[in-house]
Amino acid sequence: MTAVAGSPPRPHTTPYPDVLGAAGNTPLIRINRVTEGIRTPVYGKAEFMNPGGSVKDRIGAAIIEAAEARGELRPGGIVVEGTSGNTGVGLAIAAAIKGYRCIFTIPDKMSVEKVRLLEAFGAEVIITPSEVEPDDPENYVMRAKQIAHDTPNAVLANQFYNAANPEAHYRTTGPELWEQTDGRITHFVAGAGTGGTISGAGRYLKERDPGIRVIGGDPVGSILRSLAETGTPGEGAPYKVEGIGQDKLPSTLDMSVVDEWRSVDDASAFRLARRLTREEGLFVGGSSGLLAHAALEVAREVDDPAACIVFILCDTGERYLSKLYNDDWMRENGFLD
């Protein structure tokens, strides 16, 4: 069976054979308070309500099933991946159901909650240094590649280069957004870690209506905006938001789908994530705050009650209790007064 069972008009009305069927079909929720004074309607796609708490549940089973279909993953097999955490959870859920072992590499900037979570699913987790060049053998993606190569019966999930990733969003996220807005969506705001979400859902939406603007939210320090605007990556720099932004271009990111990139700094992203929790009741992580910030900018500029802006609420805030929901951490990093 597939990871996400299409888009029934009334999801969750019948039992699923296992938890994989409960991924996707997430609600679209109007943003009401942090939009004060803005006339353009803004909605968040609540991906934090997936069984694994993030948008990455959509690709976990899809990637594993594609590897099975290619005959690369067989009973007793091992799934290896470099992950900022959420993809690992999505893969670990599918691996638990299907009986595979998991080995994940994760950069040391990621929250301790994510490491614990992956271990809770029974995965073996290897922590790698964050501040190394993308092609350094110690980089988390490079390290995962090496482990997959050296381990018998192992396959690399390869989310940054695996077409099954954007394909899952083309098949599920895009159609859901189209149906949930009755085709009225005018602007789609998403981040790009692998670019699977923005490329897959963005491509679907543009096929339905080429006038829909696809906007990438990019952390200050990521190279994506510079790459899109000047053709050169520019000087990358470290940033604290997890899961989105890049230091090199993955093949799963189709730049031609994205009309525009907007840069957002860590402080703005984290402060708005905290406001989404306290004022909207949406308990989300820093990347959701970043995308909300970009969506509000667009909404102010568009200034049109007939427009419809949708952004992704990527993952749950529980993953960041030790970080953006910890006042000491926020102060130490200069993100709070």
Ligand X SMILES: Cc1ncc(COP(=O)(O)O)c(C=O)c1O
Task: Give me the active site residues, please.
Answer: 56
86 part of the interface to ligand X, by CB under 6 A? yes
Residue 248 to residue 269: CA distance in whole angstroms: 22
How far does CA 23 lie from the centroid of its chain?
14
Closer residue to ligand X, CB minimum distance, 155 or 273: 273
193 part of the interface to ligand X, by CB under 6 A? yes
49 part of the interface to ligand X, by CB under 6 A? no
Closer residue to ligand X, CB minimum distance, 54 or 180: 54
Could you tell me if 244 and 191 are in contact, meaning their C-beta atoms sit under 8 angstroms apart? Answer: yes
Residue 32 to residue 21: CA distance in whole angstroms: 31
Residue type, 47: E
Shortest distance in whole angstroms from residue 44 CB to ligand X = 13
Closer residue to ligand X, CB minimum distance, 73 or 244: 244
243 part of the interface to ligand X, by CB under 6 A? yes
CA angle 198, 200, 206 (to 5 degrees): 85
Task: Indicate which single residue of 92, 156, 168, 244 sits in contact with ligand X (rule: CB under 6 A).
Answer: 244
Could you tell me if 58 and 25 are in contact, meaning their C-beta atoms sit under 8 angstroms apart? Answer: no
Task: Indicate which single residue of 196, 202, 219, 289 sits in contact with ligand X (rule: CB under 6 A).
Answer: 196
294: helix, strand or coil: helix
**Buried-exposed string 71-82: b where 16+ CB fall within 10 A, e elsewhere:** eebeeebbbbbb
Closer residue to ligand X, CB minimum distance, 55 or 185: 55
262-301 footprint of ligand X as x/- string (CB under 6 A) = -----------------------x-x--------------
- What is the contact surface with ligand X in residues (CB under 6 A)? 54-56, 84, 86-87, 191-198, 242-244, 285, 287, 314-315
